[in-house]
Structure 1
Amino acid sequence: MRPPSGVALAARTPWFDADACAGHRTVRWEDGERVGEDPLTIGTHHDLASVTKVVGTTTALMRLVSDRIVGLDTEVSRYLPGFRGGGKESVTVRDLLLHRGGLWEWHPLYIAAGDPEEAYRVAEELPLRYRPREGRHYSDLGFILLGRVVATATALGLGQAVSELVLGPLGLDATRYAEPAGEPVATGARDDRVEIGMLDSGTPYPVPYRSGDFSGWRRGPVHGRVADGNAYHAFGGISGHAGLFSTVPDLLRFASALSGYREHDALVRPEVAREFFAPGPDEAQALGFRRYRLRLGGETLTVLGHPGYVGCAVGFVPDRGVALALACNRLLVEGTPVPGETLWHELLKATATEIEKRSGR
């Protein structure tokens, strides 16, 4: 496996603050040869990919649940009337946040639909793949629908809703949907080859299409635009599952705020935050957030967070003042890129080691 072209990371704890970056934010090729590169900086803007699920959609829903505008145990069909039939009537907002709604994991909506409204309709009308609540099946489609719930409940577009509910109140000025808020920018992918390969192999999800059914593939570097196919091709860069760009300092600010959630009760009521942070039926999955273990001496802390396919991740430990951020462009390599989860776990281990050293545990 090939290491990423560039990596930036930061950790904020009661014992130390640290950040570091190395490598390159862009790589250029000509005729298959690497011919140029630009250095990565700590303030480089990155495509968050699925980190959008927590920074945008989940935190917006925390705010809406706190304000009693959305109910966790309300059926999704209450907000999205087209989400009905085949057992969908029983699926709740909570089920989708836990990835237990029975939805398909992925579907190329950009092939099935010609515009965002039609793409949402297709997402709502797709039959369930599993029985609701029978198990956890990580689903982009579930978070696409949750983004639609946020937009419907607020009577705003998703981008404006997340800006007003989350980004503005937390001062995340470098975080924006669809395109970076400024320079410099990390290239997210070499092209659309990943989804082309998914379609032509039928792996990991069987779908009734092949790459030849779509004419809008990007054949060159994906720079300053969302790498995810559904977010970019179907929704113009604004979706519940992907679409945000941000920087390591903004991710750290976000994680610090959620770690100190009691001090942000205008954003989320503490009892609602604790409900979102608690494990669901699957120990490693909370409401929207994934749960990771951080071992410190004889104590095990829980890190809440989420990784993204392009190479970013964010995490925090509630009530303990621990915030973590990672950003890299792992897809800009020849061959097989190192998994983002591997890089994230390395950051968790390094943070634990440094805390133990500094705190004398």
Structure 2
Amino acid sequence: MSATHDARQSPPPPEAAGGVHGFCDPRFTAVREAFEENFRTRCELGAAVAVTLGGRTVVDLWGGWADAARTRTWARDTLVNVWSTTKGPVALCAHLLADRGLLDLDAPVARYWPEFAAGGKEKVLVRHLLSHRAGLCGLREPHGLRDLYDWELTAARLAAMEPWWEPGTRSGYHALTYGFLVGEVVRRVTGLKPGAFLEREVTGPLGIDFGVGLPAGEYGRAAELTRTPADPDGEPAPAFGNLTRVMLAALANPVVGPAQANTPEWRAAQIPAANGHGTARAVAALYGVFAGRGSFGGRRVLTPAAAERVREGQGAGVDLVLGAGLGGESEAGLGLWLSGPRGAYGPNPRAFGHDGFGGSCGLADPEAGVSLGYVMNRMGPRVMDDPRKMALIDALYSAL
């Protein structure tokens, strides 16, 4: 197929700048059609989607605008903040260390981070950090943006605090704290923050265009994040209702959104739960390590047993932070969420992945041998399962 959209088959989407560009294996034409439909009917501004099958790229598409003013077209190498889709690569760091015998997921966190034992947390296990069950979904004291950009301060406050609930008994989404918790364990074991460790061990050797934070020299490639004012399908966004103290701690201490993420300060910081920057191709490759049972592109990153452990379910239930937004039970594995009966990552309940705030997604399905990366700059209002993401996933599985 030509590197650009074939206008003889269907007209380019009216909102896409010059149509959709890239490559799509004819078998996955439905994915291209769903991607184009996102521009026509689901308020897409700029976006990219990539799919791998057996470690081979079968879809690599992009289109639209990289900024709200529509002055820059989305290019093949446009980078975008993928928010919590970053959590997958951070989990990969922890599992790589466990695979090498340097980290025991069943050990107390305090074995690696002694200060963490304060506040009655001496029995909190590493697996509790990975599965959002540590009771540390947000800080109890006010924690502003400047505080969030300070790694040492944020880690010290988390080490000192008491959990919101008994660790290991419930899940409560650690929206921002996840990256500092898992990341500080990575740092204590390796001497490197997770972004540097990921680059040294995975993205650098495999040539994957993804990083935690963004160097100033790359700002010219970065898409501008913006919001859509209403649900793309005209449906009301899921509401949290009356926010509990736990929800407020997780989701509003501090409040972050596109206005903050577009700033040099956010990009310069290392926030491993929320400020990974990459292409859809990069997201598909990183989640492709899991889909390939530890291998991607002919290179082994994890042993098959270590890759399998990522989706070891930690118990289903209504999440204390996201429960109302998800509309029912969900289940986290050791770093990623299971597709489950909701089909969040396709019809295989054992497929797994992670959504990012506003719509982005990484997906891995080892049984089907597929991974998917979807990134965009117009953030939707939903907590998870953005209609654009779900349309792409439905199209992918229709082609398998």
Distance in 2 separating the partners of 1:112 and 1:245: 20
> In the alignment, which residue of structure 2 is the partner of 1:341?
385
SS at match of 2:378: coil
Distance in 2 separating the partners of 1:127 and 1:262: 36
Query: RMSD in angstroms over aligned alpha carbons?
Result: 3.5
Instruction: Give the C-alpha shift of residue 78 in structure 1.
Output: 1.4
Contact 2:130 2:335 (C-alpha < 8 Å) held by counterparts? yes
- Do residues 223 (structure 1) and 262 (structure 2) align? yes
Corresponding letter in the other structure for 1:278: E
Distance in 2 separating the partners of 1:171 and 1:164: 11
Q: How does 1:75-154 map to 2 (within 5 A)?
A: 75-105=108-138, 109-110=143-144, 113=147, 115-139=150-174, 140-154=176-190
Contact 2:135 2:165 (C-alpha < 8 Å) held by counterparts? yes
Contact 2:102 2:189 (C-alpha < 8 Å) held by counterparts? yes
Instruction: Give the C-alpha shift of residue 266 in structure 1.
Output: 4.5
Instruction: Give the C-alpha shift of residue 352 in structure 1.
Output: 1.4
Residues 124-133 or 340-349, more deviating: 340-349
Q: How does 1:1-361 map to 2 (within 5 A)?
A: 3-13=43-53, 17-28=58-69, 36-55=70-89, 57-105=90-138, 109-110=143-144, 113=147, 115-139=150-174, 140-172=176-208, 174-179=209-214, 182=218, 183-189=220-226, 205-206=247-248, 222-223=261-262, 225=264, 232=266, 236-263=268-295, 266-282=300-316, 284-292=331-339, 300=348, 302-331=350-379, 337=381, 341-342=385-386, 343-355=388-400
Give the structure, 1 or 2, with the largest relative contact order (CA under 8 Å, sep 6 or more).
Answer: 1
Instruction: Give the C-alpha shift of residue 129 in structure 1.
Output: 0.6
> In the alignment, which residue of structure 1 is the partner of 2:326?
none
Distance in 2 separating the partners of 1:23 and 1:203: 39
Aligned in 2, Cα 1:285/1:157: closer, same or farther, shift over 3 Å? Answer: closer
Instruction: Give the C-alpha shift of residue 274 in structure 1.
Output: 1.3
More strand by share: 1
SS at match of 1:3: coil
Corresponding letter in the other structure for 1:254: L
Contact 1:330 1:338 (C-alpha < 8 Å) held by counterparts? no
Contact 2:68 2:226 (C-alpha < 8 Å) held by counterparts? no
Instruction: Give the C-alpha shift of residue 238 in structure 1.
Output: 1.1
Q: What does the per-residue CA deviation read over 1:128-183, in whole Å, with 9 as the maximum and x for residues that have no partner?
A: 111112211111323311101001100223332221222223321x2123216745
Distance in 1 separating the partners of 2:97 and 2:300: 11
Q: What does the per-residue CA deviation read over 1:199-240, in whole Å, with 9 as the maximum and x for residues that have no partner?
A: xx9988345xx99xx9xx9996853757xxxxx39xx42133
Aligned in 2, Cα 1:329/1:288: closer, same or farther, shift over 3 Å? Answer: same
Aligned in 2, Cα 1:218/1:66: closer, same or farther, shift over 3 Å? Answer: closer
Corresponding letter in the other structure for 1:285: A
Distance in 1 separating the partners of 2:399 and 2:139: 38
Distance in 2 separating the partners of 1:158 and 1:293: 28
Paired residue total: 318
Distance in 1 separating the partners of 2:247 and 2:383: 19
Instruction: Give the C-alpha shift of residue 317 in structure 1.
Output: 0.9
Aligned in 2, Cα 1:344/1:284: closer, same or farther, shift over 3 Å? Answer: farther
Distance in 2 separating the partners of 1:111 and 1:23: 31
Distance in 2 separating the partners of 1:152 and 1:171: 26
Instruction: Give the C-alpha shift of residue 242 in structure 1.
Output: 2.3
Instruction: Give the C-alpha shift of residue 43 in structure 1.
Output: 2.9
Residues 285-294 or 346-355, more deviating: 285-294
Contact 1:43 1:248 (C-alpha < 8 Å) held by counterparts? no
Aligned in 2, Cα 1:304/1:206: closer, same or farther, shift over 3 Å? Answer: closer
Q: What does the per-residue CA deviation read over 1:264-295, in whole Å, with 9 as the maximum and x for residues that have no partner?
A: 68521221211122222126311101111598
Residues 107-116 or 36-45, more deviating: 107-116
Contact 2:359 2:382 (C-alpha < 8 Å) held by counterparts? no
Distance in 1 separating the partners of 2:262 and 2:393: 28
Aligned in 2, Cα 1:160/1:20: closer, same or farther, shift over 3 Å? Answer: closer
Contact 2:331 2:337 (C-alpha < 8 Å) held by counterparts? yes
Aligned in 2, Cα 1:284/1:104: closer, same or farther, shift over 3 Å? Answer: closer
**TM (normalized to structure 1)?**
0.76
Corresponding letter in the other structure for 2:293: Y
Distance in 1 separating the partners of 2:74 and 2:258: 24
Aligned-residue identity in percent: 22
Aligned in 2, Cα 1:82/1:163: closer, same or farther, shift over 3 Å? Answer: same
SS at match of 1:9: strand
